[in-house]
Structure 1
Amino acid sequence: MVQNTPSSAADASHDSDTPKKKRLGLLPQILIAIVLGIVCGLFFPDWLVKVFATFNGLFGNYLGFIIPLIIVGLITPAISELGKGAGKWLGITAAIAYGSTLFAGFLAFGVSMIVLPSLLAGHSMSTAANPEDALLGAYFQVEMPPVFGVMTALVLSFLVGVFLTFIKGDVLRRSFLEFRDIVDLAIRVTLIPLLPLYIFGIFLNMSATGEAFTIISTFLGVVAFVFALTVVMLLLQFTLASVFFGRNPLVMLKTMLPAYATALGTSSSAATIPVTLRQAIKMGVSTPVASFVVPLCATIHLAGSTVKITAFALAIMMLSGAPINAAAIVGFIFMLGITMVAAPGVPGGAIMTAAGLLTSMLGFTEPQVGLMIATYIAIDSFGTATNVTGDGAIAAIMNRLITGKRYDRSEAEADAVAAPA
């Protein structure tokens, strides 16, 4: 039997009284990574930039591999925990997300028709290269093909999760709960710690090549206009969510800022799921609801991307002197909301899936589509950041609809303790 000596007791007392060192939060880490990436890209030699490009290639492939597993690991048990009403809540969540995406498109359409004609007065169409072609490549790549695609993961999660609510056995349900623990551990250990370095590499490469600045300067006024639209969209989303949730919309929006900042670097809603999920829980959304809504909305809710695509498309049409048919634009927005659900959750995925609509419905030529893709990818992160931040607003609305409860500080703090660090 070991007894505590006075000195050991004093040491223990001293240890308990010693304040723990505060770890730098994720948001400051990401902001530092962005600034350092831009600054270091101005003087780093190409060989060193390619080292980080190699890391980003490996980490990006790993993201592509694990994202479908995250979707299955989070959505399936979340749906099963919701009970037999899961199918109904799935439909309601999808309807709200689609409605938000449509509203974003019509907001961009209406405001663009008022602002863009004067903003673009005296300007004409110019060409630009695809920014992806200018980026410095990696030294080597390691292919990590996912077990299945994002859409397959979603369908599988819905199918298994919903039908788990109808069977009596619990073996498979417990297996998915354990799989969720594995996914949560993978998020904590392999994704969250490496995200700042990944974001640093992205901005380092963009700064070293100068491609992003060239593209952005082409539509500088339009870029500022679109950014303002995304801010307005977020304010409207969280104002509506606050009516359901019973919390200050600006406080809710502030809580979601780490997800916004993460998406600025990753340009991927799916890759930002771990951070969006954590912040939604910290905002006060219950863990089961957040685990159900956030991964789902990461694929089907693209309000920010819709704002960008609609506004940029109208800007290109005005610059090229093409006639703008209101009926065609309305049809384009409705189809855009559906088509972008197929976006694979990777940088530039939304514009790639929208390219066919630009050609078939709006009559874009190949050079116009190329300019659209180039401009979109150069500032892809701002639309993605709006997408994921808006996911938090939808999660808050669904929390009230599913649980019937408004914001409860004590419950929110308890859930936040268990959220991914």
Structure 2
Amino acid sequence: MDKTKKIGLIPKLIAAIILGILIGKFMPEVVVRVFVTFSSIFGNFLGFLIPLIILGFIVSGIADLGSNAGKLLGITAGIAYVSTLIAGLFAYIVGVNIFPSFIKATNMISDAVNPEEHLLKPFFTIEMDPIMTVMSALVFAFLLGLGIAAVKGDGLRKIAFEFQQIVDKTISNVIIPLLPIYILSIFANMTYAGEVGRIISVFWKVFLIVIAMHFLIILIQFSIAGAISKKNAFSMIKNQVPGYLTAIGTQSSAATIPVNLKCAENNGVSKEIREFVVPLCATIHLSGSTITLTSCAMAVMMLNSVSFTLPQMLGFVAMLGVTMVAAPGVPGGAVMAALGVLQTNLHFTEAQLALMIALYITQDSFGTACNISGDNAIAVIVDSIYNKKKKLSRS
């Protein structure tokens, strides 16, 4: 029993994908439709939760940042946001130039129809309309978060953080445990429709390209940090290895903070800066997650013959940088927080959202490792800026 509890989410998802493929290939239609019915109900529940997830993450995240308002916060948050934008733009450039070579040329048919037209329908559906639209939730979250940060009272602040805990528990105790069955159901349906082979043949290549981009962005981040601080970038990357490996094992930015603080110390970051920047960036800086989400989203759209533009993808990345605030504390939090943006900016369907969840979480540990590595590069940059200002003020 204890051993079962220790099985990680990634092995469960991999097993779910394999089982889903087997069920879709060898089981009769009625069995597949049972799973399709489950996925329909679960998908509607997930759609109902998306605005609540946005409110739970963003309101408390902005309120918490506002309580620590100051120049240091502004500098750190600004650098973290720019880093996220650069990571997303980098992923877009790589995706546009490389993905078509193995998606369009070998996997797309010029007169292809919408793959969802071949999917089985559920026996019945249960409608669960969201209490507000995604855009309304975003606007309300910004307004409430900034308002809580500005006023002195603690009433709304406590409500916001308690509501975040409710959302956390809903994701941890309901969504995550049922996610493997949901993914199994989606893959069973896609296999029955004859679509899964095409998808798998594409995404193992996407996965390898994403990992390569993670390594490249880490090199770029530490090269910039080295140029600003006059430190050796490769030495700092070597010092970051324990943090990177810990993140792969824990799949959590928050759980990696103690090790990451030690890495920052080894890179010569002052105590006051590393103890502020590293925990803060663990919740606001997700360059690795942005690369993964952007790349997977582009691949999903290419698979479905959906066109997209640079302004559209930049808007998607810009919103990701905000909506994922405070998401790393939750298992699969980054992709959960991104669901609303995928719906509004890129018009993803339920099946496409499910595919994004599966694709993201199966490599979440690598994205997390990239995130926390970038956190320490930012810590080096902020420390260098802070110490320069200190010297100027003394002189």
Instruction: Tell me the TM-score normalised to structure 2 length.
Output: 0.59
User: Which residue is equivalent to 2:251?
Assistant: 267
- Secondary structure of the equivalent of 2:226? helix
Give the aligned residue type for 1:286. Answer: S
Aligned mate of 1:277, from 261, 283, 297? 261
Amino acid at match of 2:344: S
Aligned amino acid, residue 273 of structure 2: V
Say whether 1:241 aligns with 2:195.
Answer: no
CA contact (8 A) 2:253 2:328 kept: no
Say if 1:289 and 1:398, in contact at 8 Å, map to a contact too: yes
Give 1:97's aligned amino acid. A
Other-structure match for 2:89: 106
Map 1:222-233 to 2 at 5 A.
222-233=206-217
Letter in 1 for 2:214: T
- Shift in Å at residue 158 of structure 1? 11
* Correspondence for 1:91: 74
- Alignment identity in percent? 46
Whole-Å separation in 2 of the counterparts to 1:159 and 1:265: 40
Q: Name the SS of the counterpart of 1:285 in structure 2.
A: coil
| AA partner of residue 105 (structure 1) | G
1:50 corresponds to which residue? 4
* Counterpart residue number, 1:117: 100
1:310-364 residue CA offsets vs partner (Å, 9 max, x unmatched): 0100000001111113221121111111111141522310000000111111011
Match in the other structure for 1:310: 294
Alignment gaps of 5+ in structure 1 = 1-46, 55-70, 80-85, 128-151, 161-210, 407-421
For 1:151-201, what per-residue CA distance to the aligned partner results, in whole angstroms no more than 9, with x for missing partners? x9xx999999xxxxxxxxxxxxxxxxxxxxxxxxxxxxxxxxxxxxxxxxx
* Distance change (3 Å), C-alpha of 1:159 and 1:90: farther
Contact kept? 1:258, 1:275, Cα under 8 Å: yes
CA–CA distance in 2 between the matches of 1:98 and 1:48? 41
Q: Do the aligned partners of 1:347 and 1:380 also contact (CA within 8 Å) in 2?
A: no
> 2:377 maps to which residue?
393
Q: Distance in 2 between matches of 1:368 and 1:259?
A: 33
Alpha-carbon distance between aligned partners in 2 of 1:236 and 1:159, rounded to the nearest angstrom: 40
1:252/1:217 CA distance change after superposition, 3 Å: farther
List aligned pairs for 1:289-304, cutoff 5 A. 289-304=273-288
Task: Describe the shift of the 1:251–1:263 C-alpha distance in structure 2 as closer, same or farther (beyond 3 A).
Answer: same
Instruction: Name the residue aligned to 2:136.
Output: none
Matched, 1:353 2:337: yes
Distance 2:353 2:388 in 1: 46
Change (3 A) 1:233 1:369: same
Instruction: Give the counterpart letter for 1:370 in structure 2.
Output: A
Query: 2:361 — aligned with what?
Result: 377
The secondary structure found in structure 1 opposite 2:254 is coil
- Runs (4+) off by over 6 Å: 155-160
Could you state the TM-score of these two structures normalised by the residue count of structure 1? 0.56
1:105–1:307 CA contact under 8 A, matched in 2: yes
Q: In the alignment, which residue of structure 2 is the partner of 1:13?
A: none
Q: Please say if residues 282 and 328 of structure 2, whose CA atoms lie closer than 8 Å, have aligned partners that are also in contact.
A: no
User: Counterpart of 1:289 in structure 2: which amino acid?
Assistant: I
By how many angstroms is 1:255 displaced? Answer: 0.4
Normalized per residue, the structure richer in helix is 2
User: What is the aligned residue count?
Assistant: 258
Distance 2:271 2:149 in 1: 17
Task: Tell me how far apart the structure 1 counterparts of residues 363 and 310 of structure 2 sit (CA, whole Å).
Answer: 26
Letter in 2 for 1:397: I
Q: CA deviation at 1:48?
A: 6.2
Uncovered stretches (5+) of structure 2, i.e. residues with no partner: 9-60, 109-114, 120-143, 153-183, 188-195, 391-395
| Cα distance in 2, alignment partners of residues 322 and 297 from structure 1 | 34
Q: Distance in 2 between matches of 1:405 and 1:87?
A: 15
Cα 1:238–1:157 shift into 2, 3 Å = farther
Q: Is the 8 A contact 1:271 1:346 kept in 2?
A: no
Q: Which amino acid aligns with 1:112?
A: G
Range with greater deviation from structure 2 (392-401 or 328-337): 328-337
The structural deviation recorded for 1:236 is: 0.5
3-state SS of 1:96 partner:
helix
**Aligned-residue offset at 1:288:** 0.9
Q: 1:233 to 1:402 in 2, by over 3 A?
A: same
* Equivalent of residue 256 in structure 1, options 229, 240, 247: 240
Q: Secondary structure at the match of 1:272?
A: helix
Provide the C-alpha distance between the structure 2 equivalents of 1:404 and 1:330, rounded to a whole number of angstroms: 33
Structure 1 segment 26-37 matched on structure 2, within 5 A? none
Q: What is the CA–CA distance in structure 2 between the aligned matches of 1:105 and 1:365, rounded to whole Å?
A: 22
Instruction: Assess if the C-alpha contact under 8 Å between 1:269 and 1:346 holds in 2.
Output: no
